[in-house]
Amino acid sequence: MNSATAWSKKVPFAVDVAGVIEIMGTSLYSQPMAAVRELIQNAHDAIQRRRDVDLTFSGRIDIALDKDAGTLTFHDDGVGLDAQEAEKYLGTLGVGMTGGIRREEGESTGTGQSLIGMFGVGLFSAFMLAERVRVETRRFDGAQGVCWDAGAGSDITLSSCERERAGTSVTLFLRPAFKELAGEPESIEKAVKYYADHLPIPIHLGGGSARINMVHSNWLSPSVDTDVLSQEIENDFHERPLEIIPVRSSSGAKVSGVLYVTPERTPAFSGAPLVTVTVRRMVISRRIDGLMPVWAPFLRGVLELPLCGPTSSREDLVRNAAFDAAQKVVEEEVFKFLEGLAETDIGRLTRMVVWHRYTLAGASLTNPRLRRLLSKCYPFDTSHGPMPFVKVQELSPADALVESDFDAVIWFNSDRRQEQASAKLFAGRTTPCVQATRSFEEPMLLMMTAEAGPQVQARAVNLNSKGFLESILGIREVESVPESWAEFLKLENVSIHAASYDAGVPAVAFLDERRDLKQTVEELFKTGQVPMGFQKMMEEHLDSRKIGNNQVLLNRKHKLVARALGRKTSHPLASVLRLLVYQSLEAAGATLPQQAQRVRAADLEWVSDALSGGE
Ligand SMILES: Nc1ncnc2c1ncn2[C@@H]1O[C@H](COP(=O)(O)OP(=O)(O)OP(=O)(O)O)[C@@H](O)[C@H]1O
Ligand SMILES: [Mg+2]
C-alpha cells in the first residue's frame, strides 16, 4: 500500500528569458539574414504610423555599416518611442505596439491595414547576428531621446540620450561569426532586395543617395500595362513569359499581383523560384506549398496576400481560412484568364497549351473545369491534322445507317505504332481518326466524350469496335477462318479473321495493348472523380474481350488470299499467306515472338525450295 498523502498546488509557467532569447536568436528563423527583414519591417511600421498622423510625411530607411566597429545600424525617421514605450514594447517578448494597433483598428481598415508587425518578437531576431543590440529613439512629438541597450540574456539598460531627429536607430553589435557583414554592403543589399524589393518606402545603404529597393513595382500596381510587366518579369525572373496573367481581386480574399506562364519545359522539376508571395509587400517565400493550383506548375510571378497570416518565423503562411480563400481566388483568376483567352484568342491559348501539354493533359484527368477548357483548345493529332475535341466531335456525326443510339462517334487510335495504318483507313473520309497516342490523351479523350453527352461515343480503331467494320472498312460480315487455317496461322495473342474489303492489301493487323489504359482508368476510378458515363464507356471499351489480343483481318478480295485459302495448308501458298500475316503484324508495330520468327525462316526456305522446284 502506498502511504504517501495526495497533494496538489498551482505553479506558474516559468520562462527562462535568456533561454528564450537564445531560441529566438538561433532557431526561429532558418536564415540569419531574416534579422535584416525584421528590422526593416519595424522601421516600415514606424514610418507608416508617422504617416498616419502627418499626411505630408514620406519617410525613409537608412542602413549604415561600420566595418571598424563591427556594427550594422538601421535608421528610420518614423514615430519613435518614448521611455515608457521603449520599456514596454522593446523589451517584452510577445508584446508590441503594432500587434495592438492591428487588433484595435482591424486588419483591413485604417492603420492596421498597412502595418506588418504582429507577434512582438521580431526585434529579437537581431540576436541571430548580434551579441548586443542598442536602440536609440525619439518620439516625433517627444522632447528627449531614449536609449535601450540589451545583450543576450543580460538585463536591459534604459537611459536618456541625446538625439536630435525623431525616429529610431537600431544598432547590431555583430557576433564574431558575422563581423565581416559590416564590411559587405553587397550581402546586405542582396538581403534587402530579396525581402523588401516591393516595399514602397525607400531604403538606402551606406549613405547612398539612390534607393536600393525597387522604385515602383508594377507587379502590384492596379493599372496593368502588359509590356511593362513583361519587361519587369524578364528582369526579375530572367525568362520571357508565354502569357501574363494579372491578378486583381478586391472582393473577399484581396489577392493582387501578376502571374505568368513560364517557357520552362519541365516546370515542376525546376529548382527555380516559383511564385513570390508577399504579405504587406514583404516577401514571405517563393515556394508556398498548396497555394498555386496543382495543375499549373508552370506559373511564376508575385502575389500580394495582405490578409494572410505569416508564421512567426515569417517564412511561410498559416494555413487558415484566409489562406484557403486566397488559394481559391488564385485558381479562379487563372481559370478566368484562360477561359477568356479561349473566347478571344484561341490560337494564343493553344500555343501555350501545346507548350505545357503533358502537364495539362495529366492534370485534366482529375479536374473537370480544366478538361472543359482543354476540350476547346488542346490539339489532338488526328488523321486530318491537329484539332481540339470540340472540332473532332463536329466532324464525327454517326453513320445513320449503322447507328441508332448515337449522334456522334469519335474514332481514335491510342497506339503510336498504328498511327500510319489507321490514318490511311480514314484518309478518304471526312471523319477524322484521333491519334490519342501521347501520355494521358486516351483517358482525357474518353472523359471529354463522356462529358459531351450520352449521344456521343468514342471507339477505338479496332475490329471489335461496334460499327468499325461497317462504317470505316465497309464490311458487312467477318468470318473466322476455317479450323485448319486457324491452326496453321496460329500465333499467341492473335486472332485471325477474314472478310472482303476494298483496301487492296492482303491483310490488316490491329494491335490492342490496353493494359496501360486499364491501369490508368482503374486509378481514376479510385479517385472517384470520373464523369458520369465514363465508367460505363470504359467498361465496354476495356472488357469487351480479352485485353491484349491483336487481330489480323485477311482480305478475301485480295487475289493471293483468295487463292491460298482455297488450298490446303501444306501448299507453298499457305506459307506465303503466313508470311503476309506476320508482315501485317510487324507493319502495325508488333514484335513477333521467337517461335514465329523460326516459323518464318522455315516458311521462307520452303517457299524458295518450292519455287526452285527442288533443284
Ligand atoms: N524602428 C522602430 N520604431 C518604433 N517602434 C519600434 C521600432 N522597432 C520596434 N518598435 C516597437 O517595438 C515593438 C516590438 O517590435 P517587434 O519587431 O519585436 O514586434 P512587432 O513588430 O510588433 O511584431 P513582429 O514580431 O511581428 O515583428 C513594436 O511593436 C514597436 O512598438
Ligand atoms: Mg517587427
Three-state DSSP class for residue 304: strand
The confidence score (pLDDT) of residue 272 equals 57
Model confidence band, residue 108 (pLDDT cutoffs 50, 70, 90): low
Poorest-confidence range of 31-40, 348-357, 383-392, 512-521?
512-521
pLDDT of residue 513: 63
Rounded to whole angstroms, the Cα distance separating 518 from 539 reads: 10
- Write out the residues surrounding ion ligand 2, Cβ under 5 A: 41-42, 117, 122
On the 0-12 / 13-18 / 19+ scale of CB atoms within 10 A, 586 is middle
Q: Is the pLDDT assigned to residue 269 strictly greater than 70?
A: no
Q: What is the DSSP string of 10-56?
A: -------HHHHHHHHHHTS-S-TTHHHHHHHHHHHHHHHHHHHH-TT
CA dist 450 → 63, 370, 534 (Å) = 63, 15, 5
- Nearest ligand by distance to the CA of 119: 1
* Residue 543, pLDDT score: 66
What ranges in 296-345 are assigned the alpha helix state H?
A: 321-344
Residue 40 has pLDDT above 90, yes or no: yes
Average pLDDT in the chain:
89
Q: Are strands 433-435 and 71-76 parallel, antiparallel or unpaired?
A: unpaired
3-class state of residue 535 by DSSP: helix
Per the listing, cell 483496301 goes with 503
Nearest CA to ligand 1 atom 13: 96
Q: What is the pLDDT of residues 360-382, one digit of tens each?
A: 999 999 999 999 999 999 999 99
DSSP 6: P
Residue 57 CB less than 6 A away from ligand 1: no
Residue nearest to atom 19 of ligand 1 (CA): 120
Question: Does the C-beta of 90 come closer than 6 Å to ligand 1?
Answer: yes
pLDDT, average across residues 200-221: 87
- Cα dist. 255→113, 130, 270, 499, 576 in Å? 14, 36, 25, 65, 72
Q: Are 529 and 366 in contact (CB under 8 A)?
A: yes
Mean pLDDT of 107-125: 81
Please spell the DSSP secondary structure of 144-186, one letter per residue.
SEEEEEEETTS-EEEEEE---SSEEEEEEEE-GGGGGGGG-HH
**Start-to-end C-alpha separation, the chain:** 113
Per-residue model confidence (pLDDT) at position 330: 95
Which atom in ligand 1 lies closest to the alpha carbon of residue 80? Answer: 4
Output the pLDDT for position 222.
65
Tell me if 458 sits within 8 A of 445, measured CB to CB: yes
**Whether the predicted pLDDT of 419 surpasses 70:** yes
Nearest CA to 446 out of 358, 544, 529, 521 is that of 521
The b/e string for 366-404 (b: 16+ C-beta within 10 A; e otherwise) is: bbeebbbbbbbbbbbbbbbeebbbebbbeebebeeeebe
Q: What is the percent of the chain with per-residue pLDDT over 90, rounded to a whole number?
A: 60
Residue 43 beta carbon below 6 angstroms from any ligand 1 atom: yes
pLDDT in tens, 387-398: 999 999 999 999
- Amino acid 282: pLDDT: 92
Range from 380-389, 415-424, 486-495 carrying the lowest mean pLDDT: 415-424
Beta 299-304 vs 156-161: how paired, if at all?
unpaired
Q: What is the best residue among 42, 203, 284, 312 to mutate for testing ligand 1's pocket, by most ligand atoms within 8 Å of CB?
A: 42
Q: What is the mean pLDDT of residues 199-221?
A: 88
Residue 420 has pLDDT above 90, yes or no: no
What is the residue whose three cell numbers read 449503322?
Answer: 402
* pLDDT digit string, tens, across residues 162-182: 999 999 999 999 999 999 999
Sign for the pseudo-dihedral over CA of 403, 404, 405, 408: positive
Q: Is 168 in the pocket of ligand 1 (CB under 6 A)?
A: yes
Ligand 1 atom closest to the Cα of residue 42 is 8
pLDDT of residue 219 exceeding 80: no
Q: Residues 230-248: pLDDT tens digits?
A: 888 888 888 999 999 999 8
What is the C-alpha separation between 308 and 304, in angstroms, rounded?
9
Q: Tens digits of per-residue pLDDT, 400-414?
A: 888 888 999 999 998
- Answer whether residue 547 shows pLDDT above 70: no
CA distances from 387 to 383, 415, 456 (A): 10, 18, 17
Residue 492 has pLDDT above 80, yes or no: yes
**CB 120 less than 6 A from any atom of ligand 1:** yes
Question: Could you tell me if the CB of 99 is within 6 A of ligand 1?
Answer: yes
120 pLDDT tier (thresholds 50, 70, 90): confident
Please report the pLDDT score of residue 511 as a whole number. 79
